[in-house]
Amino acid sequence: MAVTEYVHVRELADSAAINTAIIEQFAKYRDSEEVRRSHFFSGRYENLYLDLEHVPAMQIVLEQAKGFAADILAVTAPLKAGFWFNLMQPGHVTQEHTHDDDDECLSGVYYIETPANAGDLLITTPTEKISISPKAGQFVFFPPDIPHQVTENKSKFERLSVGMNFGFQLD
């Protein structure tokens, strides 16, 4: 489903079971030295990087996401997907930013744990501002050069999502 020409929303089948596995696997490593951290803003690291060997349940999410991305981009060439976790505690925000640093063709987010009032995704397209309330099991895709941010987590619980960038797989 396209929200606009710039924003596309998709759902992952059987997301509850997959998200439960991701949460359990992520919990084992979230505070370990094996997590690479970047983008320190407002007292927290916005990006937490773990390899697939640490969170193997992410493989299902990434494969589905690459399929959705190929459909949105209308390409048949193989895509690669980079990913990172975004863990937002109560009171946290994610600053406005873009993902057009490298060879990205499409960006996206996948929602794993989304309590009510845990922050909306705000996307600024050339024609409008779009606010999307996160839903566990939902993907939101958008061009990498589109500014976006996440509003304050006003819940009493953590919010867990996965950011993704897609590019063409070069042999």
Q: Helices 58-73 and 15-29, interaxial angle, to 10°?
A: 120
For residue range 139-163, list pLDDT tens digits in order: 999 999 999 999 999 999 999 999 9
Burial class from Cβ neighbours inside 10 Å (0-12, 13-18, 19+) for residue 88 reads buried
What number does CATH give the domain 8-168? 2.60.120.620
User: What is the average pLDDT value for the chain, to the nearest integer?
Assistant: 88
pLDDT score of 39: 61
pLDDT value at 38 more than 60: no
Query: In the structure, what pLDDT confidence band is assigned to residue 137 with cuts at 50, 70 and 90?
Result: very high
pLDDT score of 96: 86
